[in-house]
Amino acid sequence: MFNLCPKKFKARCCVGNLTKEQKLRIASESCMVGGGLSLIGAVATWIAGSKVGNRAEAQRLGIFIGLWVPSLLLTASYLTRKADDEAMSRYDEDVPFFEEVM
């Protein structure tokens, strides 16, 4: 099987050593960054394309790229919520809510 981490880096940060919560948070942050970059890309495409080439084509491409923003941000929100649920489920299993004294 393909190993992502060389042996000398095994003890350090490796995808295989991350918990499910950490993986979800990394994916959430990646979607958040992607949403921001696609917003910047949409505006840049709209402005630069309007000045250089076919204005209508640049506007359509800018709108198409701009449509990625809500999708990526909603995905980031969903993944953050799943990571929070994962963190809470870990605490629910470890700590009993009530302990009988008698």
Mean pLDDT in residue range 17-25: 88
Question: What is the residue extent of each domain of the chain?
Answer: 35-90
Which residues, 6+ apart, have CB-to-CB distance to 59 below 8 Å? 46, 49, 50
pTM beyond 0.75: the answer is no
Q: How far apart are CA 78 and CA 69, in angstroms?
A: 14
pLDDT band at residue 92, thresholds of 50, 70 and 90?
low
Closest Cα to residue 31, out of 82, 91, 72? 72
Tokens representing 84 are 């929070």
pLDDT, one tens digit per residue, over 25-60 is: 999 999 999 999 999 999 999 888 777 778 888 888
pLDDT, one tens digit per residue, over 62-79 is: 999 999 999 999 999 999
| Burial class of residue 9 (count of CB atoms within 10 Å of its CB; 0-12, 13-18, 19+) | exposed
